Amino acid sequence: MTSETPITIPTTEQIRRAPKALLHDHLDGGLRPATIIELARETGYEGLPEPDDADRLETWFRESADSGSLERYLETFSHTCAVLQTRDALARVAAECAEDLAADGVVYAEVRYAPEQHLEKGLTLEQVVEAVNEGFREGERRARAAGNRIRVGALLTAMRHAARALEIAELANRYRDLGVVGFDIAGAEAGYPPTRHLDAFEYLKRENNHFTIHAGEAFGLPSIWQALQWCGADRLGHGVRIIDDIHVPDGAHSGEGDEGGPSGVSAARSGEVKLGRLASYVRDKRVPLELCPTSNLQTGAASSYAEHPIGLLRRLHFRATVNTDNRLMSGTSMSTEFEHLVRTFRYTLDDMQWFTVNAMKSAFIPFDERLAMINEVIKPGYAELKAEWLFHAAAPEPPLTSGSGESQS
Ligand SMILES: O=c1[nH]cnc2c1ncn2[C@H]1C[C@H](O)[C@@H](CO)O1
Ligand SMILES: [Zn+2]
């Protein structure tokens, strides 16, 4: 982009229509509330806190997840996992997930879940993976029929408090190129360092496979350091606490740019902001950060959107991406996450494109397929929105100019 590019702060409708790429979304954190109620009836699960009313159930999930503690947040998943114990339930929820993401303008998604949490009624690990894959393919078909295009890949998660990581890593490898694109570990961070699962990570590295690790969410720099330097993670699930290794003079913490507009890098260049060794490594090596702003507010990793580190990380040109984490527990969607960021940091369509291209570059599918998504879907989609803005939108004021550079990631 040139310095002539007008600032195009998108409307809610444009945010929804803009092509988006999602790297961090949990299948068991994104069920439709009405589906949970139906599945509970069908499968005889009697533990739902609001068994009769989808709106009340939706509110219950959001409020319960709002505790400020990751451990309490994670307790809500006992209800979603309870209704995801049959082949049909898993396939249905996966199909609805793909449909919902596509309707929200997501064109590429990596959706994760822990197969080991879906074995209570006798399914095997393989049956779980096949049911979910089948559901994703069905959801992609339904989305296409509705005029939306999406590609969904699965990430298999191992729970960090359990001891099945190697087994799940082997499963991910077995289903590679068959709908599974990588591996993850999740669950409570405190007391369960990622190094407990070194055998799984070493196995995946030997197999040239990809993995991300939930790190730097509830726990700080040591967890990020271990995930990268001991385990060899390709990406960081959250990684938001990398902010602890970035030293900012008082008053400069907000993501709003000063001289350079919302996307300016002036503070970084002027030397006011100092990066420690780990933060430098993460930025210089282009380690993707799967940032999930609303989820972070709920678990206490950040105190407001304005103070969320994503503003600074974007300004400093970290490989930052925007994600939902758990759409049900956070009452969110990709559009909602971007809506908060656009209103808070005055992000433009160029900024949205930057985050989206960052995510696509960091995806676990092959390079040529990533490139095709960027060049054939994402860039044309943003170009179309920007052209509409220039030629049709009733711009209230003459355009300002912006220096946001989409080519830098
Ligand atoms: O944000 C999270 N941090 C750690 N673990 C999480 C988070 N969101 C969901 N999980 C857990 C709960 C789910 O049951 C599991 C697999 O999707 O992953
Ligand atoms: Zn997560």
- Quote the ipTM score: 0.99
The answer for residues whose C-beta is within 8 angstroms of residue 298's C-beta and 6 or more apart is 65, 66, 67, 68, 73, 329, 330
Task: Specify whether the CB–CB gap between 346 and 262 falls below 8 A.
Answer: yes
29 lines ligand 1 (CB under 6 A): yes
Q: Binning pLDDT at 50, 70 and 90, where does residue 47 land?
A: very high
Query: Tokens at residue 107, please?
Result: 């064109």
Instruction: Give the mutation target among 24, 27, 77 for probing the ligand 1 site: most ligand atoms within 8 A of CB.
Output: 77
Coil, strand or helix at 20? strand
pLDDT (tens digit per residue) in 8-26: 789 999 999 999 999 999 9
Give the domain 12-32+88-391 fold. TIM Barrel (3.20.20)
| Residue 250: CA count within 13 A, CB half-sphere | 0
pLDDT (tens digit per residue) in 235-272: 999 999 999 999 998 755 554 443 333 333 334 444 58
**Ligand 1 atom 1: the closest Cα is on which residue?**
325
- In ligand 1, the atom with minimum distance to the C-alpha of 238 is 1
**Ligand 1 atom 14: the closest Cα is on which residue?**
77
Full-model pTM: 0.92
**CA distances in angstroms from 126 to 67, 118, 168, 207, 373, listed in the order given:** 35, 11, 10, 19, 29
pLDDT value of position 219: 85
Coil, strand or helix at 351? helix
Instruction: Give the mutation target among 214, 324, 325, 337 for probing the ligand 1 site: most ligand atoms within 8 A of CB.
Output: 214
pLDDT value of position 401: 41
pLDDT (tens digit per residue) in 146-164: 999 999 999 999 999 999 9
| Residue 162: CA count within 13 A, CB half-sphere | 15
Q: How far is the CA of 51 from the centre of ligand 1 (A)?
A: 23
pLDDT (tens digit per residue) in 67-105: 888 888 898 999 999 999 999 999 999 999 999 999 999
pLDDT (tens digit per residue) in 185-198: 999 888 889 999 99
DSSP 150: -
- Taking the C-alpha atoms of residue 95 and residue 97, their distance in angstroms, rounded to an integer, is 5
- Taking the C-alpha atoms of residue 321 and residue 378, their distance in angstroms, rounded to an integer, is 15
Task: Specify whether the CB–CB gap between 197 and 231 falls below 8 A.
Answer: yes
pLDDT (tens digit per residue) in 304-358: 999 999 999 999 999 999 999 999 999 999 999 999 999 999 999 999 999 999 9
Q: Which residues pair with 214 in a beta bridge?
A: 237
The answer for residues whose C-beta is within 8 angstroms of residue 297's C-beta and 6 or more apart is 303, 304, 305, 308
Task: Please provide the average confidence, as pLDDT, over all residues in the chain.
Answer: 91
- In ligand 1, the atom with minimum distance to the C-alpha of 77 is 14
Show me where the domains of the chain are located.
12-32+88-391
Q: How far is the CA of 372 from the centre of ligand 1 (A)?
A: 30
Q: How far is the CA of 186 from the centre of ligand 2 (A)?
A: 7
pLDDT (tens digit per residue) in 28-41: 999 999 999 999 99
Ligand of minimum distance to the alpha carbon of 116? 1
Query: Tokens at residue 282, please?
Result: 């993460």
